[in-house]
Structure 1
Amino acid sequence: MNNFSFPRELRLFTPTHFTFVFQRAQKVGNSKITILSRFNMLGYPRLGLTIAKKHVKHSHERNRIKRIIRESFRLLQHELPAMDFIVIAKKGIINLNNRAITEILSKLWLHYCRLKNSL
């Protein structure tokens, strides 16, 4: 049975981890969310988040968006390939409700799930 927790090792923390992805990132996204990714050698996916104060002014809104993204990743972590992912929230995401954000993320994650199945 799969473990659907979200432990510390599934997160990107350090600037080195983020730089690793930014150097040669594959990009999937739409007008509200972009996901950058790069294969890692760890055997499991990891997640990093960037939500700029410029686009989402209030901390409670940034936290809401982070919770939705983490939950989406947590539920699909066993379907995703061994990649480091950085989810970038763009201008206008604050106007979306939780369901709309979840649906956008599901479509974007599906791209990577297909990638894992083709490997």
Structure 2
Amino acid sequence: MLTPEHYQKVFQQAHSAGSPHLTIIARANNLSHPRLGLAVPKKQIKTAVGRNRFKRICRESFRLHQNQLANKDFVVIAKKSAQDLSNEELFNLLGKLWQRLSRPSRG
């Protein structure tokens, strides 16, 4: 997702899956593929190296799971404790959250 308008649409009428380390918000889109957006505030992850590591792992996890995901826009929001996770822990956590969000909604 590229523009602030895309992000605003996701935050309206969205459903989410979260953990103590990050939150993923999702909303259906009219495209034939899922899209990813990342929100990694400096306030949550202080160093540029940490923010870039978080984004790199999120993008790779999304790339590997996008075939199983519904056609939705996803926004991954980092929390402060995300910087304490190892690469493997973060990758596994994202995999669980992608699975949770790929299930059909109950409502």
- The TM-score, its normalising length taken from structure 1, stands at 0.85
Q: What is the deviation of 1:112?
A: 2.5
Q: 2:31 corresponds to which residue?
A: 42
Residue number in structure 2 paired with 1:55:
44
Out of 51, 64, 68, which is 1:75 matched to?
64
What do the CA deviations read for 1:34-53 (whole angstroms, capped 9, x no partner)?
00000001121000000010
**Equivalent position to 2:104, from 95, 99, 115:** 115
Q: Which runs of 5+ in 2 are unaligned?
A: none
Letter in 1 for 2:5: T
2:14/2:25 contact within 8 Å kept: yes
Q: Which residue of structure 2 lines up, in the alignment, with residue 16 of structure 1?
A: 5
Alignment-derived partner of residue 102 in structure 1: 91
How many residues matched? 106
Unaligned runs of 5+ in 1: 1-11
Distance in structure 2 (CA, Å) of the matches to 1:58 and 1:115: 37
1:28 counterpart = 2:22: no
Q: Aligned to 1:115, what secondary structure does the other structure show?
A: coil
* Aligned residue type for 1:104: L
Instruction: State the percentage of identical aligned residues.
Output: 47
